[in-house]
Amino acid sequence: MSKKFLLATVAVAGVTLGTAAASAADVEPAPAPESASWYVSLFGGAAWLDDVDVNYDYRGDPNDAELESKTGFIVGGAIGTHLFSDDLRVEIEAAYSENKLKTIDFDGPGGDYSIDGKFGILTFMGNLWYDVPLSDEIKPYLGGGAGVAIVDGDFHYNGQDTDAFDSSEVAFAFQLGAGLRWMVSENIALDVGYRFRGIDGPTFDGGDFAGSDKYHTDWFYSHNVIAGVSLGF
């Protein structure tokens, strides 16, 4: 290889590299992706608890019954973000619901008895909601979540001073829901929705009433209608 050809090759390579460097300097760097938009929300509404099946042994005899409750309430809050896309929201939610008890209905000839008590349920869930992109202002959504529930249960028969059971237990919880969000401004949204909740029925410790040491309950199912507001930041 001649010395002239080698020098020409080096010169061409230098010019090419210099031109590429100059062109790269003129190109603006790609914008960094926008940070995830966060929001906090508060909500409240009415809660309807399905009859709760309970079974226990009373002096060696098995008993099956249903606990019937009154319409109750639910309140809660969440913090979330549009982390993956504008239409997909991930959030952490805490909520409390309470339903007063009114009757216990025994299977067979036992009949109904009036009772006084409540189920107070504190839940912590991770949720995933999909906003259907119909418009920028009105957004239907659906989704659900799962987590844990702390169920505080107690009841006593009317006319009795001692509780049949009175304890707080931890159980698995899930919810499915749908609703409608109205973006009243860029950072404020109003929300109406429905939540179907299920809680794996806990076993409650017996109280001072001369009954059973343990009261086993089946799944808790509730229907909740809520209204809320979200503030973005």
Q: What is the largest CA-CA distance in the chain?
A: 114
Residue 1: the pLDDT is 45
Token output for 194? 């429905």
What amino acid is encoded at 166 in this protein?
D
Q: Is-contact 114 77, C-beta < 8 A? A: no
Q: E-assigned strands of 70-107? A: 72-85, 88-106
- Output the average pLDDT for the chain: 86
Taking Cα atoms as reference points, which of 180, 157, 154 lies closest to residue 169? 154
pTM for the whole structure: 0.81
CATH of 37-232, one of 3.30.499.10, 2.10.109.10, 2.40.160.20, 3.20.20.140: 2.40.160.20
3 state SS of 201: coil
Three-class secondary structure of residue 13 per DSSP: helix
Beta bridge partners of 173: 147, 199
Given this model, what pLDDT does residue 10 score? Answer: 36
Q: How far apart are CA 102 and CA 110, in angstroms?
A: 16
Q: In whole angstroms, give the CA distance from residue 123 to residue 172.
A: 9
Q: Which residues pair with 65 in a beta bridge?
A: 54, 106
| Amino acid (1-letter code) at residue 159 | G
Interacting residues of 133 by C-beta distance below 8 A, sequence separation 6+: 86, 87, 139
**Residues lower than pLDDT 50 in the chain:** 1-25, 27-35
Q: Decide: residue 92, CB within 10 A, 0-12 exposed, 13-18 middle, 19+ buried.
A: middle
Q: What is the distance between the alpha carbons of residues 233 and 219, in angstroms, rounded to a whole number?
A: 38
Say what the pLDDT of residue 107 is: 86
Residue pair 216/201 in contact by the 8 Å Cβ criterion: yes
Nearest residue to 219 via CA among 201, 202, 206: 201
